[in-house]
Chains A and B, each alone.
Chain A
């Protein structure tokens, strides 16, 4: 049972949407701190280039493709929800979750290979950052996908369709973080 407070919108946008923007602001600061620290270290340690050579640019690019496409399905889901079509929105959200799962599976293979070749989290501080940053991102992918499943389940029944936009915005943010992680870890080595 929702309090009346939740239904008011003195700031001009619905409370859920307002809250999601604040969540993003806090996440910008978390990832910003981590990635900023990485950049400082990377610029201080030219020797890391030797380590960074070993990241697999093609896998990284493939994962980027997967996430970008999942962002497309997410925004198309939002479009469907705007038109009131809960079932279509849910279907597109499920596609987005499939994208998330693909991303995680690919990353699991990628990391397994790297670890087997001795590039573990504690082998060199470059790899420490690599696993920590990508790992934190991956946690957000997983959490986002789980939330998305709940939103999709509701949407399929025609309920809480406004949440499709909200989980979509969160998902786009996760995508944007990867858009910056990809060049940092895979291209500008």
Chain B
């Protein structure tokens, strides 16, 4: 599918194909991770690898390392606001009970998605 050009002849370009190969290897690891069965391993391989992949794409494909610094700050700030949103909301939405309150609702049973469209 990919048109494999010769590895970049200009020195300051990283080899894109090499990065792609690393990404694919990471993909394989993340798919195999859950097969080990240990929950914490699955989480690390799934999300840890996702973070690494995202970093590689951002740095090498988007060339974030050569953009002016403020671009990183703009994107980083957006990300920080999302974490802030999560922190402020999760206390209510993610939990079932808290300081003097608890949620009263019925968890739809797991069989709710039986095939009757």
Where the two chains meet, the residues of A that have a C-beta atom closer than 8 Å to any C-beta of B are 11-13, 21-22, 24-26, 28-29, 32-33, 36-37, 39-41, 43-45, 47, 50-51, 54, 57, 61, 64-65, 68-69, 71-76, 79-80, 91-92, 95, 98-99, 115-120, 123-125, 127, 168-169, 172-173, 175-176, 179-180, 182-183, 187-189
Contacts and interface: CB of A to CB of B under 8 A. Distances in A.
Given A32-B82, A183-B30, A72 B50 contact: no
A28 B83 CA distance: 11
A91 to B, nearest CB: 7
Interface string B78-106: 11011001100110011110000000000
Interface of B: 1-3, 5, 8, 13, 16-17, 19-20, 23-24, 27, 30-31, 33-34, 42-43, 45-47, 49-50, 53-54, 57-58, 60-62, 67-68, 70-71, 74-75, 77-79, 81-82, 85-86, 89-90, 93-96, 107-110, 112-117
A61 B1 contact: no
Contact of B2 (A61, A76, A118): A76
B3 A40 contact: no
B82 A29 contact: yes
Chain A interface mostly? helix
Nearest to B44: A188
Contacts of A50: 110
Contact of B68 (A12, A40, A43, A182): A12
A75 B67 CA distance: 15
A187 B42 contact: yes
A98 B1 contact: yes
Chain B interface mostly? helix
Contacts of A22: 74
B3 A73 contact: yes
B3 A92 contact: yes
Contacts of A51: 110, 113
A75 B16 contact: yes
Contacts of A125: 108
Contacts of A116: 117
A176 B57 CA distance: 7
B8 A79 contact: yes
A180 B74 contact: no
B58 A176 contact: yes
Contact of A68 (B24, B43, B107, B109): B24
Nearest to B85: A36
Given A13-B68, A176-B54, 13 more contacts: A41-B93, A43-B90, A51-B110, A72-B2, A72-B61, A75-B61, A95-B1, A99-B1, A172-B58, A176-B58, A180-B50, A187-B31, A188-B42
